Chain A
Amino acid sequence: MFFVNCVTANVLSAAEPIDPIPKTLEYDKQLANIGKLLFFDKELSNDKVVSCASCHDPYSGGGYDGKTFLGEHRKKRIKDATVLNVVFNFRQFWNGRAKDLKEHAVMTMKIPISMNITKEEIEQRLNSSESYRQMFRVVFKKDRIAFDDFIDALVEFEKALITPDCKFDRYLRGEVLLSEEEQNGYDLFKKLGCVTCHNGVNIGGNSFQKIGVINPYPWKEGVNDLFKLTKDPFDKNRFKVPSLRNIELRAPYFHDKSAAKLEAAVKKMAFHNLGYTVNDAEVKRLVAFLKALTGSRPAILQ
């Protein structure tokens, strides 16, 4: 009987659609620390108004905090994806047009409402700083900082931005039990079918899905969906699924920031994609589960 229980437990555990974030991840600490300085350096945007952290604040939810001054032309930005746990995404950007973090960083430098800066300008600015040159010299053993080295440093820092040890991860590892409400929320999360899109380490970030499958979601021209890349009508409102990790810190929600609170986001999502109207008790349970996904601050920021 004991054997049967063990086997059943193992099979069930193996069938979990969500994996915990590893406690540590291999990265080059020296290079990541240079990347950290670069990430917060406003000198690296063309107008010197924003740094990467202006729109992706890793100290909060990894996105825009809604307060930092970004300059007039950046106001119409769509919702920024979080930089936290970004290393676990299968592709980058809402429509996944960058295959990895490196490609993402290179593209971001060119975006007019982002850094809007050329490779040459970046190199010129970095090489005019003696402190950067000295730091890069230690890692790359050369005098001149190349654009690729700069990108590598940024990527190395982003790799370090993982938020392990949320309550749910510890539950998955068998270290703690969830509260009744959280557990019910997780069961409901699976039963309703949220988990068919939100699965894997990042509880999302690993497939393209359509928003508004059952009840259509309004589509706006110019939105950063896959349609913008492919022009295939099938790809309208088809996005890379956002991660649900640290979701309580990520308000407002959706690519169009149309839900101010988590409860509203849960209701909206269930209606549009599952054709299901969640009641208040269910919302409460689901939110309790979602709040158990808030992890600890990345070690590199401590």
Chain B
Amino acid sequence: MKLQYKISLTLALALVIGGMFFYFEKKVADIVASNAALSGNVEKLERLEKQLDYELLQASFFLYHNYDRLSNIQKELSIEFDGFSAKEPLSPAVSEILKEYDAGLTKKQKYIELFQTANSIIKNSSIYIPALEVKYLETFGEGDIEYFRLLSEITSVIFLTKNSLDADLVKALKKPALRLEKYELKDRNKRGFNKVFLSHLKVFIDYFPYYSGSLLSLRDINSLKTLQKIKTALLEEREKNLSFVKPLSRLLFLFFIASIGIGFAFVVKAERQRRKSFEAEKRHLDEKAWILKDLHDGIGGTTANITMLADMAKNASSLEEVKKDLALISDLSREGLSDIRSFLQSLDEGKTDWQSLIADIRHFGSKLVEAHGISFGMTDNIKDIKGPPGSLLRLNLFRIYREALNNIIKHSGAKSVAVALNANKEGVVFSVRDDGSGLTHGEGKGRGVSSMKARTEKMGGVFTITSDKGSFINCEIPLPLKPPPSGRA
């Protein structure tokens, strides 16, 4: 798959994963926020329940009470509860406990209404009875000690019962109440008093169970415990919801980061490839420019020489001179053609690999030297090398090679030529050895040698020529070729 597609695909994937990550992150935040809001509702309900308990106790034990406070707290509770119940979505567990709480609220309302009725009655009677006893003393004096003791006993038990909320104590009142009812009083005023006292006592006995019963039932409803259960269920629900979403969100985050990382790595790789290809392209263009200039200079020089020789032949005084000039023109033309052929071969895309270069060197060498009765041999060793030799190397190697062979044919009198081409990733070593007469004095500095040396050095290489039982030309060119600056020939 192309790198560009890989990058696009990775980025698209990162986008999708990122989107999913933000979605689940929001879901986590939503779960936490909605749970916190619900817990807030429950805490408010708890506060109101505590207030309600306090108001009930105050209404029960303080001298004065204001029932508005009870109904106002109940209204607030109801509003808060309705608000809570209307929130969506509530889990089945929470909904179930809410139903329990709602049932508790309804019961509570009934018991509070009952408590209010009983409380007002009991509060009045429990105040009236001691007040009546005092009134008896004021009006009648102690007089009948037994009757007065009976009143005192009743007053004490009522005081004790009211403050202990113990309905069993009411039983202890029934006997004195009966005695009071049957007590024979001769004084009409005392009988009237007894009737009133007895009425309050009976009311106390009748309504006390409602009073204590409603308070104890209100206590038993234990709304705070139910609210605590809701809180626990909410916490469990939160943990349950988060246990799936949170790790998923974290995983998505890791995937997101990983996909961004992979995408970035692809981008870096693509940039490297782009730069590499740009450099290769530039090198190629530079090579071409160099080759073209080289060709232009070479062909230009050859053409100029041919023109000059033709003029010389035209004005020659003897046939010998004309022949000599024509022979030179022929040589120059062949050299020019060879240059053009080499140039074309170097541009031939199909012949740019190392094997074709070796084949060309072998073919060219054997054909050229064997025509002059010189035997030809070649060794090669190409390893660990990537990419083709390139037009510049090929062209220059061929020129150096041709120059070297021409020198051998023309001047050495050699019987054999041995060519070697070794290349690895470090560089190319190209050598031509012959068994001829070797270099004569001055030959090592001739035009041909200096041209071979210049070409080698232009490629950043080292050219050496030695002479010992024949000559030995050696070019060591590092790879990759240092591209020559544009315009340099």
A interface, CB within 8 angstroms of B: 15-19, 88, 90, 190, 193, 195-197, 199-202, 206-210, 213-215, 234, 238, 273-276
Contact = CB atoms under 8 A, between A and B. Distances in A.
Contacts of A206: 66-68, 70-71
Contacts of B123: 193, 196
For this complex, into which size category does the number of interface residues on chain B fall? 20 to 34
Query: Which secondary structure dominates chain A's binding surface?
Result: loop
A274 B62 contact: no
B129 to A, nearest CB: 11
B66 A17 contact: yes
Q: Which of B71, B124, B128, B207 has the most CB of A within 10 A?
A: B124
Interface in B424-461: none
Contacts of B289: none
Contact of B117 (A90, A209, A275): A209
B305 interface: no
Q: 5 closest A-B pairs (Cβ-Cβ)?
A: A200-B68, A207-B116, A90-B71, A193-B124, A17-B64
Interface stretch (B46-54, B195-203, B391-399): B195-203
B68 A209 contact: no
Given A15-B62, A207-B117, A274-B124, A213 B203 contact: yes
B65 interface: yes
B316 interface: no
Given A193-B127, A214-B200, A90 B67 contact: yes
A27 B121 CA distance: 37
Nearest to B68: A200
B113 interface: yes
Contacts of B319: none
Contacts of B63: 15
Nearest to B67: A206
A225 to B, nearest CB: 12
B268 to A, nearest CB: 62
A190 B65 CA distance: 11
12 contacts: A15-B62, A15-B63, A193-B127, A200-B66, A202-B68, A207-B113, A208-B116, A210-B117, A214-B196, A273-B124, A275-B196, A276-B128
B120 interface: yes
Interface of B: 62-71, 113, 116-117, 119-121, 123-124, 127-128, 196, 199-200, 203, 207, 210
Nearest to B120: A196
Given A199-B68, A206-B67, A214 B203 contact: yes
Contacts of A201: 68
A19 B68 contact: yes
Nearest to A199: B66
A199 B117 contact: no
A193 B68 contact: no
Contacts of A88: 68
Contact of B113 (A18, A200, A208): A208
Nearest to A240: B113
A1 to B, nearest CB: 25
A275 B199 contact: yes
Contacts of A15: 62-64
Contact of B199 (A18, A195, A215, A234): A215
A83 to B, nearest CB: 19
Contacts of A238: 117
Contacts of B196: 214, 275-276
A214 B203 CA distance: 7
A284 to B, nearest CB: 21
A227 B70 CA distance: 23
A147 B127 CA distance: 50
B199 A214 contact: yes
A213 B123 CA distance: 13
B121 A210 contact: yes
Contact of B66 (A18, A193, A209, A213): A18
Q: Which of B117, B121, B127 has the most CB of A within 10 A?
A: B117
B98 to A, nearest CB: 20
Contacts of B62: 15
A200 B70 CA distance: 10
Nearest to A194: B124
Nearest to B119: A196
A207 B200 contact: no
A18 B68 CA distance: 9
Nearest to B196: A275
A215 B123 CA distance: 17
A276 B200 CA distance: 10
A199 B64 CA distance: 9
Contacts of B68: 19, 88, 90, 199-202, 206
Q: Which of A190, A207, A209, A215 has the most CB of B within 10 A?
A: A207
Contacts of B207: 213
Contacts of A197: 120
Contact of A193 (B70, B128, B210): B128
Q: Which of A88, A193, A234 has the most CB of B within 10 A?
A: A193
Contacts of B119: 196
